[in-house]
Amino acid sequence: MNDRTRIIDEARAARDQARQLLHALLESEQAAREGGHEGDLFRRVTGASSLENAIAATRRTIDAYDRLLQELEGGEPRSRDASDPAPRSSLPGDIEHAPRIMIGPMTLAALSAARTA
């Protein structure tokens, strides 16, 4: 396996892990709403809950991975509606048994790009 292929594989694995995280965060947000947990102190101070901030950051990270992979694969970036960052049908359901990946240089670059986007 050459370096380019390895980098693409690592970026895909990291994007998939970010999608799993987004799925878990969305489920947690739904459970918090159903449980009536409206007393989020972070929301009172900043106007957004810590879960909402985590969901937004994860969506930006997924977008950064999508752009990175598009660039690495040499294609045109696809435009996507910002309100639908990752279709639920593409998210794996079994988060507990998701493979763990090591963070490499491309992961850090994508996360850095997501923070500045």
Q: How buried is residue 94: exposed, middle or buried, by Cβ count under 10 Å (0-12/13-18/19+)? A: exposed
Confidence at residue 39, expressed as pLDDT on a 0 to 100 scale: 65
The pLDDT value given to residue 107: 57
Alpha helices in 1-117 (DSSP H): 3-35, 41-46, 50-72, 105-116
pLDDT reported for residue 111: 58
pLDDT at 87: 44
pLDDT at position 59: 96
The pLDDT score that the predictor gives to residue 93 is 43
Distance of CA 109 to the CA centre of its chain: 14
Q: What is the pLDDT of residue 104?
A: 53
Amino acid at 59: R
Low pLDDT (below 70) residues in the chain? 37-39, 75-117
Question: b/e string for 64-84 if b means 16 or more Cβ within 10 A?
Answer: bbbbbbeeeeeeeeeeeeeee
**pLDDT for the residue 31:** 87
